[in-house]
Amino acid sequence: MSTGHLTIDLSAIADNWRALDAKTNVETAAVVKANGYGMGAGRVARTLADAGARRFFVAVAEEGAAVREAVGPGPMIAVLSGHMDGDTDLIRDNSLTPMLNSVDQVLRHVESLPRQSFGIQLDTGMNRLGLEPEEWAALRDVALKQKPALLMSHLACADEPDHFMNQRQLTAFREMTDGLDVPRSLAATGGLLLGADYHFDVTRPGIGLYGGRPYEDAKTVVRLDLPVAQIRDVAPGESVGYGNTWTAQRPSRIATLAAGYADGLFRALSPGIKLFDGADAYPIAGRISMDLITVDITEMDPDRKPEIMTLMNNLQGVDALADVAGTIGYELLTQLSQRYKRSYIG
Ligand SMILES: *Cc1c(COP(=O)(O)O)cnc(C)c1O
């Protein structure tokens, strides 16, 4: 084994989906954008379709085509970026449901694919995607005649339950959609956890399925094992890695692992994270380089020569790593290397 090895637990993803679904009385969709948060959109979508998911959300039409191939003709596949210029063939050929974000997109859609399912994304304050309240007011009656499949908006601060923005956006969403006979969706993982006021007809969890915050009770989905390329002895006073940032204070043993920041293991993860040999943890020595990580295994039984060490597991999950790197689990998961061998369990 010369590259890292990602083991993705599909049954944990299905369990996380079921557990989130059980928190509401409404339909639970699944967000599989960015290749299923790095886990593999096709495998994840097929697993969740088997578990009962009937709607999937992707960021762009190309991702929708891949998910359609994986799940077959039944489920709705919603495209969050809407109907962008050049997407018409992909949307038609894969029966995608664009979430239309602007007046231009609405016109493009009804002119090019007048009978094709669509939804409407409304801006309730995040100012990223969606129709403004005034645009919606002007377009609403015409749009409703075309029978949209979903009205949706997105919360900016749902991972902070006490943030004033949640209530403000909820009120705005209600003002724009109350009394209309169209299914509604406001909540991603964070919104789902805010409670029933935020659930409407469909929730759209993403990160919670993959084991990340703010769904603290999620089952661990990812394990990352890295191959040991070399083990060496280092004398007191010798240093390890770029910039001489680590110097041996005692006779030491260093394991060099074959993965680095080019594999999504951000340089900011050094120092601070641990590598595991079974349940035993060992600190990084020096800086993470492009393709290599050096680990201080001085405390390990000197007769042991591990062939792999584990970077992500239930003891050091995606959020623990993200905290060290000063980022969020979403970024860490979606940067996991294409170089890793991937295998699926469950
Ligand atoms: C990414 C995204 C989601 C899923 O968000 P999570 O925080 O991962 O649950 C839902 N809706 C929209 C519009 C998104 O962009």
Is residue 149 very low, low, confident or very high in pLDDT (cuts 50, 70, 90)?
very high
- For tokens 């097929």, the residue is 46
- Å from CA of 57 to ligand 1 middle: 9
* pLDDT attached to residue 1: 57
Is residue 344 very low, low, confident or very high in pLDDT (cuts 50, 70, 90)?
very high
- As a dihedral over the C-alpha atoms of residue 288, residue 206, residue 338, residue 244, rounded to 10 degrees, the angle is 0
Is-same-fold flag (10-210; 222-345)?
Answer: no
Task: Encode pLDDT of 80-91 as tens digits.
Answer: 999 999 999 999
In ligand 1, the atom with minimum distance to the C-alpha of 330 is: 8
- Å from CA of 188 to ligand 1 middle: 5
* pLDDT attached to residue 2: 85
Q: Which residues line ligand 1 (CB under 6 A)?
A: 31, 33, 80, 154, 188-190, 204-208
pLDDT, mean of residues 34-42: 97
Minimum CA distance residue for ligand 1 atom 13: 154
* pLDDT attached to residue 271: 86
Residue 128 assigned to a binding site: yes
Report how far residue 344's alpha carbon sits from residue 346's, in angstroms, rounded to the nearest whole number. 7
Q: Is the pLDDT of residue 75 over 90?
A: yes
- C-alpha distance from residue 278 to each of 49, 145, 304 (Å): 34, 60, 12
Q: Please choose from 204, 207, 213, 331 the residue to mutate so as to test ligand 1's pocket, defined by most ligand atoms within 8 A of CB.
A: 204
CA torsion through residues 229, 346, 26, 36, sign? positive
Q: Which residues pair with 255 in a beta bridge?
A: 231, 295
Q: Please choose from 44, 57, 123 the residue to mutate so as to test ligand 1's pocket, defined by most ligand atoms within 8 A of CB.
A: 57
Q: Encoding tokens for residue 222?
A: 């990812």
Task: Encode pLDDT of 44-56 as tens digits.
Answer: 999 999 999 999 9
- Å from CA of 317 to ligand 1 middle: 20
Angle between helices 61-71 and 41-51 (to 10 degrees): 50
In ligand 1, the atom with minimum distance to the C-alpha of 80 is: 13
How many residues appear in the chain?
346
The full DSSP string for 282-325 is: EEB-S---SS-EEEE-TTS-TT---SEEEEESSSS-HHHHHHHH
- Å from CA of 95 to ligand 1 middle: 21
Task: Encode pLDDT of 225-248 as tens digits.
Answer: 999 999 999 999 999 999 999 999
Report how far residue 108's alpha carbon sits from residue 92's, in angstroms, rounded to the nearest whole number. 13
Other C-beta atoms lying within 10 Å of the C-beta of residue 338:
10
Specify the pTM. 0.96
> What CATH class is the domain 222-345?
mainly beta
Which residues are catalytic, by number?
Answer: 33, 242
pLDDT, mean of residues 196-213: 98
Task: Encode pLDDT of 214-228 as tens digits.
Answer: 999 999 999 999 999
Residue type, 230: Q
Minimum CA distance residue for ligand 1 atom 3: 188
Minimum CA distance residue for ligand 1 atom 12: 154
Residue 309 assigned to a binding site: no
Query: Percent of the chain beyond pLDDT 90?
Result: 98
Other C-beta atoms lying within 10 Å of the C-beta of residue 93:
11
Name, in order, each residue with C-beta under 8 angstroms of 125's C-beta and a sequence gap of 6 or more: 156, 165, 168, 169, 172
CATH architecture of 10-210: Alpha-Beta Barrel (3.20)
Q: Is 135 left (phi over 0), alpha (psi -120 to 50) or beta?
A: alpha
- Å from CA of 223 to ligand 1 middle: 23
pLDDT, mean of residues 171-182: 98
Q: Please choose from 31, 120, 200 the residue to mutate so as to test ligand 1's pocket, defined by most ligand atoms within 8 A of CB.
A: 31
Q: Encoding tokens for residue 115?
A: 């009978």
- Each domain of the chain, given as residue ranges in start order, spans 10-210, 222-345
